[in-house]
Amino acid sequence: MVRIHLGPPKNLLFNYPQHFKMHKYSNLSNYSAKEIHNLGRTSREKDAHLEALQYLDQSIIGYQKEKDYRGIIDALAERTITWKHFFLLTNDMVYAILAQKDAEAMLNISQEKKLKDKLSTSFFRLGEVAMLFKEHTKAINYYKKSLVYYSGILSQKGQFRYHLGEALYRNDEKKRGKKLMIKGLEEIKEGSKKAPAFFIHVWESGCRMQLADLLRKDEPEEAKKHLIEAEKIIKTDKKLIIRKRQFKELKKTFSF
C-alpha cells in the first residue's frame, strides 16, 4: 500500500529554529481564538506544521477562556490531522498515539458538553486515526457513526463517505468499498457549489488519488484515469501544496 498522505519534508520537521517563524505579530493577545486558529489552519495547509501546532495550542487556550467548546473541538481536529502527517513521515507510533488522544478528546468534549453537532467530526477523525493503526474494522465503525450524525453539506458528506469506502476496500470488501468511494466522489462534485473551491479540490483529488492507489493492481486502467483527473485538479489550484507533494509520490508507483 502506498501512503499518499505524506507529512512535511524532513528539513521542515526537524530544523525547528530555521523554519519556524511565528506571525509577524509576536504578541497575539489582541487576536481572538478563532483568528489564531485560522492562522494555525493556514500554516498547516502551507505545510508549516510546527508553526500550526503553536497557533493551535494558543487557540485552544483562547477558546477555553471564551467558553467556546466547539472551537476547542475544531482546533483539536486540526491537531489530529497534523499529528497524522508527522506519523506518515516518520512512521513513529508516538505521533499516531498523539493523533488518537486528540481525536478521543474531541469525542469526550462533544459528549461532556452535549455538542451533538460535533459528534460526526469526532467520529470521522477517530476513523482516520484507526486507519493509521491499520485497524480497518474499527475505522469502518467510526466512519459509519460519522455519517449517522452528519448534518452538513453534501460535498463534505461525500468526503466522509469515500473514507468509509476506502476502509472497506482495505478490509477486503473491495466491491462495496469501491462503490461507496464512487458515490462519495459523486456527492463531492454534486455539492461543489456550496463549499469553497479549495475544499472541493482537496476532497475530490484526495478521493481520486485513493482510488488510483487502491485500483492500481486490480483495475490499472481505471486507476490511471483517476490519477490523471487528480493531476488536473492539482494543477489548477496553487493552494494544494500538500496534495501536490503527495501526488508526486503516488505517481512514482505508476509506470506510464
* pLDDT, block means (10 residues), the chain with 256 residues: 43 42 60 95 90 95 97 98 90 97 98 98 98 98 98 98 98 98 98 97 98 96 97 96 92 86
> Are residues 178 and 79 both part of a single domain?
no
In a domain, 147, yes or no: no
> Are residues 250 and 198 both part of a single domain?
yes
Copy the grid coordinates of residue 255: 509506470
Per-residue pLDDT, 256: 62
In a domain, 166, yes or no: yes
> Are residues 87 and 167 both part of a single domain?
no
Q: Which of 56, 91, 116 is the last residue of a domain?
A: 116
Instruction: Yes or no: say if 205 and 230 are a contact pair by the CB < 8 Å rule.
Output: yes
In a domain, 123, yes or no: no
Q: Amino acid identity, residue 129?
A: V
The pairs formed by 38-45 with CB atoms below 8 angstroms and a separation of 24 or more are: 40/75, 40/78, 41/78, 44/78, 44/81, 44/82, 45/239, 45/241, 45/242
Per-residue pLDDT, 26: 55
> Are residues 106 and 208 both part of a single domain?
no
Please give the span between the terminal C-alpha atoms of the chain, in angstroms, as a whole number: 19
Copy the grid coordinates of residue 99: 493523533
Q: Which of 116, 141, 176 is the last residue of a domain?
A: 116
Assign residue 159 a region (left: φ > 0; alpha: ψ between -120 and 50; beta: otherwise): alpha
- The parent domain of residue 72 ranges over 1-116
> Are residues 94 and 190 both part of a single domain?
no
Closest alpha carbon to 229 in 214, 248, 207: 207
Residue listed under C-alpha cell 500538500: 242
Give the list of residues 6+ apart from residue 55 with CB closer than 8 angstroms, or none: 23, 36, 37, 39, 40, 43
In a domain, 246, yes or no: yes
Per-residue pLDDT, 89: 80
- Cα 142 from Cα 51, distance rounded (Å): 30
Q: Amino acid identity, residue 9?
A: P
pTM above 0.85, yes or no: yes
In a domain, 44, yes or no: yes
In a domain, 238, yes or no: yes
